[in-house]
């Protein structure tokens, strides 16, 4: 583990050096790479990047999305400069530094015509009567979602679909009465525009930190 820490830093430094000498000296565009988890790729990152570009001018950012374990592996190997998203499990954070930006909770997203939205009072037990869309094991929110379901003694009676595809889940909810357990940042824009809705469930105990993850043994390039 000690050797890997130094070897990883050396490989990262070599990649940065090759990248610097490979660019034309007259190119003013600044290249950098960001790994974005779904919780920020639809809501926070577009606004942040637009602000950065308007403030600093020409850039050539590379935005990479994917599962948390894939992004963390690319970050560890130096293929990404930083990752933005929900903080993973502590054992995954060895060799990384985390800068907290804000906290968010899990949302129960549904289609705009879902039957539970029209109920006079929300009954959490009724959630079990509908099909669930859940994060697969190993995804960054799978553990908090599982704890939440256990806490409320909820078991699916209408089947489960495991998915990390935002495009699939968004459109699938429009075709039926499924319930999607997902970070609220992923569906914030959809809920705001009315494409989806969020059930009035109390998910305060699923609150988790969202922020920037970088390698602790490597200085970020200018």
HEC letters along 98-127: EEEEEEECEEEEECCCCHHHHCCCCCHHHH
Contacts of 13 (CB under 8 A, 6+ apart): 218
Dump the DSSP string for 41-64: HTTTHHHHHHHHHHHH--EEEEEE
Closest CA to 198 of 123, 73, 128, 114: 114
Dump pLDDT digits (tens) for 149-175.
Answer: 999 999 988 889 999 888 999 999 999
d(CA 12, CA 17): 9
Is the full-model pTM beyond 0.75?
Answer: yes
pLDDT tens column, 23-56: 554 445 668 899 999 889 888 899 999 998 899 8
CA distance 190 to 198: 10
Pairwise CA distance, residues 82 & 75, whole Å? 6
Residue 155: Cβ within 10 Å count: 9
């Amino acid at each position: 583990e000690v050797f890997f820490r130094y070897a990883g830093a050396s490989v990262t430094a070599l990649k940065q050096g090759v990248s610097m000498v490979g660019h034309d000296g007259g190119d003013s565009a600044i290249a950098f790479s960001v790994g974005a988890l779904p919780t920020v790729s639809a809501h926070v990152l577009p606004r942040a990047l637009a602000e950065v570009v308007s403030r600093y001018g020409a850039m050539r950012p590379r935005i990479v999305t994917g599962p948390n374990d894939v992004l963390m592996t690319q970050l560890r190997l130096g293929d990404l400069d930083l990752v933005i998203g929900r903080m993973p499990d502590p054992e995954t954070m060895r060799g990384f530094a985390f800068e907290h930006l804000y906290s968010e909770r899990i949302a129960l997203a549904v289609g705009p015509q879902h039957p539970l939205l029209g109920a006079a009072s929300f009954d959490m037990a009724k959630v079990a009567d509908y099909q669930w869309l859940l994060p697969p094991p190993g995804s960054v929110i799978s553990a908090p979602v599982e704890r939440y379901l256990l806490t409320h003694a909820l078991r699916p009676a209408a089947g489960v679909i495991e998915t990390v595809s935002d495009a699939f889940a968004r459109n699938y909810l429009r075709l039926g009465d499924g319930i999607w357990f997902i970070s609220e940042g992923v569906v914030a824009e959809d809920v705001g525009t009315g494409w989806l809705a969020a059930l009035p469930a109390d998910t305060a105990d699923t609150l988790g930190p969202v922020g920037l993850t970088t390698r602790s043994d490597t200085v970020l390039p200018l």
